[in-house]
Amino acid sequence: MEAGKLRYELRSGNTTVDVERAELFAEDGTFDFVRQVQRENGVGMAGGGIYERAEIDGTTGLGSLIHAWQAGNGDAFTRVFHASTSADADGGPDTGFGYFGNGSSLDSATVGDMIGLACNWAGPGAQQHWVNGAPNLDTEDVQAQTMARDAATGRFVPVGEDHISYAPTRSCNASAADGFRYQALGNAPGTPTRAEVEALAPADLTNTLVPKDSPSIGVMPEVPPPAPYTPAP
């Protein structure tokens, strides 16, 4: 706690049962992704994990969150979520916003940063990797959504324009001329069958992604680290 604000950082990783403490933890007792990745290197998708940092107001519950997840060492990038909520300056409902994109791997010094989006993560022609230290993602834009607290439920709900649509292609767009078909499911349960999708008429899809920290959405505040961990004697 600092000045009524709760700050925390979570580092969690997957490994094998025969691991020794010294192989995963730094001298100060914190989980070390660099050591984890080095230990699990060469064993496919082992060694995934989660990084999270947050600063929350102890009274209002408002604040900011950074969350990054990586499936394993075979992933070139993390999936990254940023969210921030705050009180309305004019006394209206609390407001907030969120971004989703991709970032560098868990063992990177910049873990938690958002650098773009892989629209075509695993489809034909997918090319998610690093080239001479630079990310080869499909776009520098990311998904985004604004929100406000609902007075009846107390929960945050989406408001304003959605910025989440994209095609699973390297351009993040698709055209009817290419035979692209899609169905907006919304909250409908289930997944359409291949036959149902093929029965749809081809349609254009232009992505609605935005730059990270777009003024129309919100600028993500800095999320300071918690006080240094002091291990028990």
151 occurs within a structural domain: yes
Q: Confirm whether 82 is domain-assigned.
A: yes
110 in Cβ contact with 119 (< 8 Å): no
Digit-coded pLDDT (tens) for 59-103: 999 999 999 999 877 788 999 999 999 998 888 999 999 999 999
Q: Which of 166, 190, 220 is the last residue of a domain?
A: 166
**Beta-carbon contacts of residue 133 (< 8 Å; ≥ 6 apart):** none
The answer to whether residue 230 sits within a structural domain is no
Low-confidence ranges of the chain (pLDDT < 70): 1-3, 39-47, 132, 185-188, 229, 231-233
CB-CB contact of 163 with 208 (8 Å): yes
Residue 110 CB contacts under 8 Å (≥ 6 apart), including other chains: 103, 104
Chosen domain end from 115, 137, 166: 166
The answer to whether residue 106 is domain-embedded is: yes
Cβ proximity of 127 and 194 under 8 Å: no
Indicate the residue among 117, 144, 166 that finishes a domain. Answer: 166
pLDDT at 43: 53
Asked if 177 and 159 sit in the same domain, the reply is no
Residue 125 and residue 186 share a domain? no
Tokens found for residue 59: 């009274």
pLDDT, residue 89, reads: 85
Residues 122 and 139 in one domain: yes
Are residues 141 and 46 located together in one domain of the fold?
yes
Predicted local confidence at residue 212, as pLDDT: 97
**Residue 199 DSSP SS3:** coil
Q: Quote the pLDDT of residue 215.
A: 94
pLDDT at residue 184, rounded to an integer: 72
Domain match, 143 and 188 both: no
Contact partners, residue 171, CB within 8 Å, separation at least 6: 119, 138
126: number of Cβ within 10 Å: 15
Q: For residue 153, how many C-alpha atoms fall within 13 Å in the half-sphere facing its CB? A: 6
Q: What is the pLDDT of residue 205?
A: 92
Number of domains in the chain: 2
Same-domain pairing of 185 and 151: no
Mark whether 84 and 24 lie in a shared domain. yes
The answer to whether residue 222 sits within a structural domain is: no
Q: Are 136 and 158 in the same domain?
A: yes
Note the pLDDT of residue 47.
66
Within this chain, do residues 87 and 159 fall inside the same structural domain, yes or no?
A: yes
Does residue 225 lie within any of the structural domains?
Answer: no
Q: Are residues 152 and 186 in the same domain?
A: no
Domain region containing 62: 5-166
Report yes or no on 101 lying in a domain: yes
* Residue 2 confidence (pLDDT): 63
- Same domain for 148 and 197: no
